Structure 1
Amino acid sequence: MASRRVTISILLLVVVAISEVVAGQESIGGETEEFEGKAIVPEANNLGQWAKGLLKNIPQDASGPLAMEPVAKFPLILAEERTKRPDFLDKLRFYVDGWNITNEHYWSSVAFTGVAGFLLATIWFLSFGVALSLHFCRKWRGKAKQREPSSAWLALLILFTCAASIGCILLTVGQNEFNAEAISTLNFVANQSDFTVQILKNVTDFLSFARTINVGPVYLPSDVQQQIDKVKGDLTDASGTISQKTQENYRKIRLVIGDVRHILILVASLMLVLALLGFTFSVCGHRHAIYIFVISGWFLVAITFMLFGVFVIIQSAAGDTCTAMDEWVRYPQAETALSNLLPCVDERTTNQTLYQSKEVVVQMVKIVNRVISSIGRRQRQSGSGGSHYRRKYKPPLPYLCSPYDTDLHDRECKSREVPIGNASLVWQNYTCTDAGASSCTYNRSTINPIIYNQLVMAANVSYALYYYTPLLLNLQDCKFVRDTFSTITTQYCPNLEGHLRLVCAGLALISTGVLLCLVLWVFYANRPRRVEEFVP
């Protein structure tokens, strides 16, 4: 949240800072070679390699004030059809406000989807407890009559045991897949957060570099430098907060996912052992041992039913969230519940920022080319004298290519222009290594290191604005978040929902299978034995 609040001020502050430099440079006259300065600047290519290739879907229409009008918003209820459920807090009336994690009525409606599991757990626990009590009472009074079970009973027992075992397998596979997909989704979100932090840190480095900008004797005013220091502090705090919160939430969610995984593995293992041993003891007629498994299964089935209800709630919430994110991405101009959670800069401010940054880039390129043109004129003036100079003649120093034309539309570089991304490498070929060498004295197309640093400094500022502005705009207008949500809904949500359905199916099959096994165990273990079974 803090990062979004400061990014717009960062861009505007950089625009003001560079405008000050442009104004100062335009007032400097005289020989270019007489400029003084000791600024050491990183090459443009090293300033932001991480930013290349990320200029996708930027607001190309923001070419002037006419593109700065705000776009009308319209209300949109997210996941409206999915979330029409009875609401416990509203006397079971249908909830109609859509996905909204800040609304307690939404969570009440989500909780209703898992009521079947908890209701089944309650009914099972009470009814089987009463039935088991009655069975023991009849047995103690000697009134229980046992029948010889038919072969169909054994077939049913085998069938239900196999069903419970298959449920354990489905639960194991489902929880493994769900755990892997959940961790993958969590890692993706964490990486996106780390990428945002890296953007803010790189902008902080750029601000530190912009603070040292000087062209000849002109430096940034002290009040602008103080503002840069303040924004740098805010930006550092914002990136630090994001990084800290991301790490804390990452650890907490990983612990929860790990705990859920361990619980499901434990339930699957216990239920599988319970089903197999219970079947064995019931067939063998170990009456006393089977009652231990019956009582244990009584509690475990109730727990499994409750876990089924919990995972149905998780599945419903996950499906609602995926649907809400997908609708939010598809309708970017809508006013939704996510608009309050992720406040974005309006399109007018975003376009204005891009417009101003483009304008500053064009102005900076004009200033650089004016200096290069001055060097070229002195070269032509010196070219008429002496064969010594003509022997050392080099092609003119290439101009800096402006990525925008006068109307701030994209343009292609001409043959004698060098792109701002590699201007430092090209200009380095025109820089002498020794300011006192004869090549610097007689060859007027060669520039000394001081002038080279100042030209590269200006190119780096243009490069930073050209490549960094769209990235910052992506953070401001929530495009970065939309891209993240779009990736989650298309690549992660389908798998997560499928694995959750598999977990729910496994829990339902285990509960039903073991429930029916418990009933048969009691009767099968207490079947009357034939006399011949005891004959040695």
Structure 2
Amino acid sequence: MKTVSLFVLLLVVVLVSLSSISAFSPDGPTRDPLKFILGEQNFGRWKNGIDEAAGAPGPSGFEPLLLAAKRTNRPDILNGFKHYRGGWDITDRHYWASVGFTGSAGFILAAVWFVSFGLALVAHYCCGWRINVEGKGSVHSTRICLILLIVFTCAAAIGCILLSVGQDKFHGEALHTLKYVVNQSDYTVQTLRNVTEYLSLAKTINVAQVFLPSDVMNDIDRLNRDLSTAANTLNEKTIENSAKIKHVFNTVRSTLITVAALMLLLSLIGLLLSILGHKHAIHIFIISGWLLVAMTFILCGVFVILNNAIADTCMAMEEWVDHPHAETALTNILPCVDPRTTNQTLYQSKQVITDIVNVVNQFVYNIANGNPSQNYPYYYNQSGPVMPPLCYPYDSQLQDRQCGSQEVSVANASEVWQNYTCKVSPSGLCTTVGRVTPYYYKELVAAVQEMYALEHYAPPLLSLQDCNFVRDAFNNITLDYCPPLEHYLRIVNAGLGLISVGVLLCLVLWMLYANRPQREEVFVKLPLPLKGIIRSHKYNTKDSSNNNASSPNSSTQV
């Protein structure tokens, strides 16, 4: 069950909670740094995001939806074997009980086999119970036994091959899926850190010693703490979970390889020893095979559970992709339902950009285009045509606005302002016509670059809010990763089934064939002079013992 849980964490908990980090509340003392990104609305390039999202319905307005409801309708062991009808939900122990029921056949077979064959061994070795094969057909029966033994040994060998190939493919595909999930998580971590980095840089922006307002800096600090905590926690959980999952996969792989190798050796050596008639040596292999067959039945049950859990998860993801805003079991992990948090993140980012424009334009209007006197602290002999101000990308309601004809946009501001840069003397005064010195021009460009970075790095962060990012990830998993995983699990199950049945039947045939009558076979191979001596000795022994026993070919005890 631990293997199943960790694998489902691979497909869901790691991906969703790691790639989404949903819903921290920047207003309250109980905010969770892992819950802060996802929101309901699609803001695109920040279009009309704040007012439209503010009225979005919360979780209570969503239509409930049970994921994979038909597929998960199974008997619940914890509820008196009543059918579980709660749909896919990895947080519900009744769901796991219903999934565990799917592997009950393998566990029951393992128990029945272990007890029944164990009793048969006790009866055979301790109570003297024997199977008698009598009559002239014993030679014919021995040949049929040999043929069946070879067939079942081949079946067990084919099962070992299938198991080896299936586990190798499954292991590779599982690690490939894990790598995809980790990449999604790393993308989210990098997005968070990019936004944090550029928000921090915004605090250092100044033009002519004019900085952002102190309250904005405090808001940036609070937001950055949450973003940094979320990114660090996300990164730590990704590393921790991926390491655990790799450990489980490697353990499963080692176990399956060991089982395949032992079963192959057991079946081949058992066949050889039974043909050679080593009765005592074969007993060791019979007991070993008895235990290993029980183990393979248990593994069959475990992999049936694993297969059903993965299939349930894939179906749940597929249904969620079609209904991303419905209230489902994924809502506990993926709550794309927090417009207030969305608005706060969007508002803070836009507010920082607006404040940077204020700082820049305060310099442009008051200093660069102000024509101050020589006694003014920021006089540097500025002259010439007035310098165009920077365009406000948002209006007073922080909605997108078009730039005016006399404004320069963030995209071309540095190029336009370069035409208003003068050459300076060693004292820092302009010696040519211009409105800004190279020093102030660099400060203006740094401010514009900060705005540009926020405009381009915040939207990927905000794109997580409308669930498109996670929807695409789930869609890729269901289309590209789930079918191979389920296919290779079926191959593993087929291999385990062939091994179990093949070795099980081989155990019975070993006992029969190893104890077959061999005296006639040996007698036929002897030289002609020895045959007469053995025949004379055989009949003299019978007369002296006054025993009416039949000839060697008449009966055999096993």
Instruction: Tell me the TM-score normalized by structure 2.
Output: 0.74
Establish whether residue 77 from structure 1 lines up as the match of residue 66 from structure 2: yes
Within 2, Cα distance between the matches of 1:234 and 1:124? Answer: 57
Aligned partner of 2:511 among 506, 512, 522: 522
**Structure 1 residues 158 and 412, CA gap change in structure 2 (3 angstroms):** farther
Aligned to 1:269: 261
Conservation of the 8 A alpha-carbon contact between 2:304 and 2:493: yes
Give the deviation of 1:128 after TM superposition: 1.5
**Which deviations, in whole Å up to 9, do the C-alpha atoms of 1:417-445 show, x marking residues without a partner?**
8763575466557645645599943222x
Partner SS state of residue 74, structure 1? coil
**Within 1, Cα distance between the matches of 2:404 and 2:280?**
94
**Whole-angstrom CA distance in 1 between matches of 2:94 and 2:424:** 75
SS at match of 1:100: coil
CA positional deviation for 1:369 = 7.3
Name which of 117, 130, 142 aligns with 1:128: 117
Please give the per-residue CA displacement for 1:219-266, whole angstroms capped at 9, x wherever unaligned: 234444344334433433332222222212221111111111000000
Alpha-carbon distance in structure 1 between the residues aligned to 2:99 and 2:409 = 56
- Equivalences, count: 477
Q: Is 1:180 aligned to residue 133 of structure 2?
A: no
Q: Which residue of 2 aligns with 1:332?
A: 324
- Alpha carbons of 1:361 and 1:89: their partners in 2 closer, same or farther (altered >3 Å)? same
Q: Is the 8 A contact 1:6 1:235 kept in 2?
A: no
- Aligned position for 1:211: 203
Q: Give yes or no for contact 2:24–2:341 (8 Å, CA) kept in 1.
A: no
Matching residue's letter, 1:441: T
> In the TM superposition, what is the alpha-carbon distance from 1:58 to its structure 2 partner?
2.5
- Cα gap change, 1:502/1:141 in structure 2, threshold over 3 Å: closer, same or farther? closer
How many percent identity over aligned positions? 53
**Contiguous gaps of at least 5 residues in structure 2:** 1-16, 28-41, 372-382, 528-558
Q: Secondary structure at 1:75's aligned position in 2? A: coil
- 422 and 317 in structure 1: CA distance in 2 versus 1, 3 angstrom threshold: farther
Deviates more, 1:186-195 or 1:346-355: 346-355
Letter in 1 for 2:102: T
Q: Distance in 2 between matches of 1:90 and 1:141?
A: 44
Given the superposition, is the C-alpha separation of residues 352 and 253 from structure 1 closer, same or farther in structure 2, using an over 3 Å criterion? closer
User: Aligned residue for 1:320?
Assistant: 312
Shift of 1:92: 0.6
Name 1:65's counterpart in structure 2.
51
Partner of residue 410, structure 2: 420
Structure-2 change in CA distance of 1:4 and 1:331 (3 Å): same
Stretches of structure 1 that go unaligned for 5 or more consecutive residues are 10-55, 380-391
- Displacement of 1:134 in angstroms is 2.8
Distance 1:372 1:462, change over 3 A: same
Any idea what the Cα deviations from partners look like across 1:160-211, whole Å, max 9, x if unmatched?
A: 1111111111111111111111111112222222222222222222122111
Partner of 2:161: 169
Letter in 1 for 2:301: G
2:82 counterpart (93, 113, 116): 93
How far off is 1:344 after superposition?
A: 3.3
Correspondence 1:506-517 to 2 at 5 A:
506-517=495-506
Q: Given that residues 72 and 87 in structure 2 are in contact (C-alpha distance below 8 angstroms), is that contact kept between their aligned partners in structure 1?
A: yes
Work out which of the residue numbers 455, 473, 482 in structure 2 matches 1:484. 473
User: Contact 1:350–1:477 (CA<8 Å) still a contact in 2?
Assistant: no
Provide the rounded CA distance (Å) in 1 between the counterparts of 2:398 and 2:212: 26
Report the counterpart of residue 98 of structure 2 in structure 1: 109
Partner of 2:462: 473
Partner SS, residue 173 of structure 1: helix
Q: Using a 3 Å threshold, how does the CA distance of structure 1 residues 407 and 217 change in structure 2: closer, same or farther?
A: closer
Instruction: Report the Cα distance in structure 1 between the residues aligned to 2:351 and 2:230, rounded to whole angstroms.
Output: 28
Residue 296 of structure 2 corresponds to residue 310 of structure 1: no
Aligned residue for 1:301, secondary structure, equals helix
| Letter in structure 1 aligned against 2:478 | T
Does 465-474 or 291-300 show the bigger shift?
Answer: 465-474
CA contact (8 A) 2:392 2:403 kept: yes
Distance (Å, rounded) in 1 between the aligned partners of 2:386 and 2:144: 100
